[in-house]
Amino acid sequence: MNVQAVKVIYKYEMLRAWETLLQSFASPVISTALYFVVFGSAIGERIEQIDGVAYGAFIVPGLMMLALLTQSIANASFGIFFPKFTGTIYEVMSAPVSFLEILLGYVGAAATKSLIIGLIILATAGFFVPLEIAHPLWMAAFLLLTCVSFSLFGFIIGLWADDFEKLQLIPLLVITPLVFLGGSFYSVSMLPPVWQTVTLFNPVVYLISGFRWSFFEVSDVSVAVSLAMVLAFLALCLLVVGWMFRTGYRLRQ
């Protein structure tokens, strides 16, 4: 493996994040603080607890997942789309670098940035509500798997998109609604039985449920099922990316 090539791509993407520090890191933190003010204060006065957990603390895993999913996709999709848009991606592909090394560089940087944002949001949440993490290792595992899998998904979107409108299409019209409808700010058990069944077809439910269990030992679905769903999504994304590079999809123009 060409480790030097991976380092170069990784460092370049990380430097790009530092150059846009306000947009990359400060914006998600400010948005999270506003969610706490609106949902934690306004709704928290009416809903004191859910499953024995204070409402302000209950929404922390959901808020983190909202930021992680959107930022992982945005970082990875723009990271590969921009060199594809400008044509510099062909220089990378003509170099003695395999698709795996390209993937490690771009996706690794996107996942790292999302991980940093997630930890910053977790620290920010501590100023609003008292937090205790029941299973810190499981929390870290779900955090890392989510960052990597959705960075891969964002990488796929970046390869698929051929203009800036398509780049924003799936995150805005698909991912964000799924997160809001996936139990970010409520428990699935609070819904009528019919809607509980419908909600289980939302893949984001399993991410949020497993992540929330690592905090409070409270979940809407089995932790084993949540972990299996995350790993299955990760494997699917790897297969799709491998197919894209093997066939040159949207790259050979």
pLDDT number for residue 232: 95
If you search the block for the tokens 């809903």, which residue do you land on?
A: 47
DSSP β-bridge partners for residue 50: 53
Domain ranges for the chain:
3-35+43-247
Taking all residues of the chain, what is their mean pLDDT, rounded to a whole number? 87
Nearest CA to 138 among 219, 58, 195, 240?
219
In angstroms, the Cα distances linking 239 to 75, 103, 109, 132 are 20, 12, 20, 37
Mean pLDDT of 59-65: 90
pLDDT average, residue stretch 186-215: 91
Mean pLDDT of 59-85: 89
- Average pLDDT, stretch 52-77? 89
**Prediction pTM value:** 0.91
